[in-house]
Amino acid sequence: MAFRQALQLAACGLAGGSAAVLFSAVAVGKPRAGGDAEPRVVEAPAWAGTARPGPGVWDPNWDRREPLSLVNLRKRNLDSGEEELASRLDHCKAKATRHIFLIRHSQYHMDASLEKDRTLTPLGREQAELTGLRLASLGLKFNKIVHSSMTRAIETTDIISKHLPGVCKVSTDLLREGAPIEPDPPVSHWKPEAVQYYEDGARIEAAFRNYIHRADVKQQEDSYEIFICHANVIRYIVCRALQFPPEGWLRLSLNNGSITHLVVRPDGRVALRTLGDTGFMPPDKISRS
C-alpha cells in the first residue's frame, strides 16, 4: 500500500511539469519480514523546487510572477480594504506579451574531438543563412539574441545576426547543450552518467527560470526575443513551459536551424505557435544531426 501511495505522489509530480520529478521517484529498499519491499523516497535537490498541482491542473504561478503571490496581504489598510488590494494587484500585473523564438544551431562537424573544433559544416552555414532570412522576413522588431557559448551556436548566431542588423547579442553558458533530465522511455544509444543529469539538469533548469517567464511589470510593449541554442535545451524548455512531463523531452524531434515559437501572455498562459519549423528550407537542406 505504501508503495502504491508513493507512486501516486510521484505521478502528481510528473504531471505538474516540475523538474523535481527525476528525484521524487521511489526506490525499493530491503524486503521486510512480511516480504513487502519498504519504499525509500529520494530527496529532491534545492534547484528542483516544490511539487506542482496534480494531473491536468495548470499552475498559474509557474513563474512565481502571479500578482497575488507578489502582494503582501498582511500589509493591508483596514480603511480602504478591497480597493487598496485591487490597486496593488493591478500594479503587479504584466501588461505585455513575450514572443520567444528558440532556434536550434545548424549542422556541425560532430566527429571533432574538441568542442572548439565542432564548427558548422557547409550545409550548416547554408541552413543558418536560411534561418536568418526567415526571421528577417517576419518583419518583427526583435529585442535581442541570446545564444549558447558553444562553438556551433556562436557560428549560427553570427550568420543569423547578419540578417538582423542592430539586434544586440548576448552569450551565456546556461544555454549550453547537456542532459536535462533522464528521459522516459529511455534510449539505448545515449546513456549519460547520473551525475550529468544532476549537473546539466540544474543548469538547464536555471536557464528556463531565468529566460522563460511572463513579461516584467515595467515592460509596456510586446517583445520578440531570439534564443539560439541546442535541441536538448529547447525540448526541455518547451515541456516545462507547457507544463508537460519534462521527462518526455526526448520524444520531440528538432531539425538543425529550426524555429520554435513560444508565446507567454501577461496572465502567464503559454502557447506553442510552432515547434521545430523548417518549412522555409528546401528538402535537401534539412538535417537533424
pLDDT tens per residue, range 88-123 = 677 789 999 999 999 999 999 999 999 999 999 999
Which grid cell is 166? 542592430
Average pLDDT over residues 32-49: 48
Contacts from 277-286 at CB under 8 Å and sequence distance 24+? 280/130, 280/131, 280/133, 280/134, 281/127, 281/130, 281/255, 281/257, 285/123, 285/126, 285/127, 285/130, 286/255, 286/256
Which of residues 71, 92, 113 is at a domain's end?
92
CATH code of 139's domain: 3.40.50.1240
Average pLDDT over residues 12-37: 42
Whether 11 maps to a domain, the answer reads no
The pLDDT of residue 6 is 44
Which grid cell is 129? 543563412
The pLDDT of residue 7 is 43
Which of residues 47, 76, 92 is at a domain's end?
92
Same domain, 69 and 149: no
Whether 10 maps to a domain, the answer reads no
Same domain, 249 and 120: yes
Which of residues 74, 92, 110 is at a domain's end?
92
Average pLDDT over residues 186-203: 90
Same domain, 244 and 271: yes
- How many other C-beta atoms lie within 10 A of the C-beta of residue 258? 26
Same domain, 233 and 180: yes
Among 21-25, 71-75, 171-175, 261-265, the least confident range: 21-25
- Give me the DSSP letters along 28-65: EEEE-TTSPEEEEEPPPPGGG-PPPP-TT---TTTTS-
Q: Does position 13 have pLDDT exceeding 60, yes or no?
A: no
Residue type, 38: E
Higher pLDDT, 227 or 4: 227
Whether 32 maps to a domain, the answer reads no
The pLDDT of residue 82 is 58
Beta strands in the chain (DSSP E): 26-31, 37-41, 98-104, 144-148, 168-172, 223-229, 259-264, 270-277
Q: How far apart are CA 201 and CA 23, in angstroms?
A: 11
Q: Does position 237 have pLDDT exceeding 90, yes or no?
A: yes
Where b means 16+ CB within 10 Å and e means fewer, 18-31 reads bbbbbbbebeeeee
The pLDDT of residue 54 is 63
**pLDDT bracket for residue 79 (50, 70, 90):** low
pTM of the prediction? 0.79
Q: Does position 25 have pLDDT exceeding 90, yes or no?
A: no
Burial classification of residue 107, based on how many CB atoms lie within 10 Å of its CB (0-12 exposed, 13-18 middle, 19 or more buried): buried
The pLDDT of residue 80 is 53
The pLDDT of residue 73 is 60
Whether 81 maps to a domain, the answer reads yes
Same domain, 122 and 213: yes
pLDDT tens per residue, range 119-142 = 999 999 999 999 999 999 999 999
Q: Could you list the residue range(s) of the whole structural domain that residue 86 is in?
A: 59-92
Q: How many residues does the chain have?
A: 289
- How many other C-beta atoms lie within 10 A of the C-beta of residue 267? 12
**pLDDT bracket for residue 74 (50, 70, 90):** low
